[in-house]
Amino acid sequence: MNTLSFFLLLVASIASPAAAADSTSAFIYAGCSQTSYAPGSPSQLNVDSLLSSLASASSASPYSNLTSAPAFGLFQCRGDLQASDCADCVRSALSRISSLCPFAAGAAVQLAGCFLRYGNDSFVGKPDTSVLYKKCGAVAGGGYGPDQIGIRDAALAALAGGVNGATAGGYRVGGAGYVQAVAQCVGDQSASQCDDCVAAAVAQLRAACGYAVAGDAYLGKCYARFWYNGNGAYNDEADHHHHHDDDETGKTAAIVIGLIAGVALLIMFLTFLRKSGSYGKD
């Protein structure tokens, strides 16, 4: 198994790290492999041992990769987290994987404060710039000058390795004017791999998010994010309610469609029974 079959299970609202300081366990995305192992099998014992070791390691380090043959796994905590917060986040990620991907041979989960992945393929150390999750905030409603795109791009450019104090790998912070940006690579990436991954994530944000007041791009081995503050005055709460309303509308539509389909099937079934009864009488 070389690739996890990733799918979105739930979407968290875009928020700046400052706004999300108390929600490091906020859910971003998760994915499960198409293959699974049997409960109580040696594979389950290997995976359980691996995940337990990763949980223990998270209290001492923001990144670790371990092997419990033939299972491989790693976790990465956000660069600004304290050790205790990192450990709490990883434990939350393990709980998510257990509930969302039971007995999956491979799985990954991204929370606001950490990333966790395991599988039976040797993905550790390999680059991966595939897009797993991407989201843009609301379009700026006013109050921004014509240089908005230039300021955003300058903030994102500061995430490049060696620019404005950005480190070659790990947690990177950039900013320009009223725009802030962050990026981080998984700890198994070299400096050049990290640079390539961050550049790919930044390209996704530039292409997709236009005049949006915030954007997230999570790739296989890194992520990049930006948001407006100060003059930008990005309102997380307003944007959250906006997306929540959209979600509720979608749920209502799905319920209505389901009811209509159910009534149609019931009518077809009753018609079939009536015709069958008529046929028997003849």
Q: Which two tokens mark 44?
A: 């389950």
- What's the rounded mean pLDDT across residues 204-217? 95
Question: If you average pLDDT over each of 15-24, 109-118, 232-241, which comes out highest?
Answer: 109-118
Pick the CATH number of 6-119 from 3.40.50.1820, 3.30.430.20, 3.30.1050.10, 3.40.50.2000: 3.30.430.20
Q: Mention every residue, 6+ apart, whose C-beta is less than 8 A from residue 116.
A: 54, 73, 74, 75, 90, 93, 94, 97, 108, 109
Say whether pLDDT at 259 is over 60: no
Q: Which two tokens mark 234?
A: 């990005």
Say whether pLDDT at 282 is over 60: no
Tell me the domain boundaries of the chain.
6-119, 131-232
Provide the pLDDT for residue 222.
97
Higher pLDDT, 147 or 257: 147
pLDDT mean across residues, the chain: 80
Task: For residue 256, name the pLDDT band (cuts at 50, 70, 90).
Answer: very low
> Is the CB of residue 177 less than 8 Å from the CB of residue 226?
no
Say whether pLDDT at 71 is over 90: yes
Provide the pLDDT for residue 130.
96
- What's the rounded mean pLDDT across residues 105-132? 95
Q: Does 6-119 match 131-232 in CATH topology?
A: yes
pLDDT 10s digits, 218-242: 999 999 999 998 543 333 433 433 3
Question: What CATH number does the domain located at 131-232 have?
Answer: 3.30.430.20
- What's the rounded mean pLDDT across residues 26-52? 94
Task: For residue 143, name the pLDDT band (cuts at 50, 70, 90).
Answer: low
Provide the pLDDT for residue 69.
84
Task: For residue 214, name the pLDDT band (cuts at 50, 70, 90).
Answer: very high
Higher pLDDT, 260 or 76: 76
Say whether pLDDT at 215 is over 60: yes
Provide the pLDDT for residue 17.
53
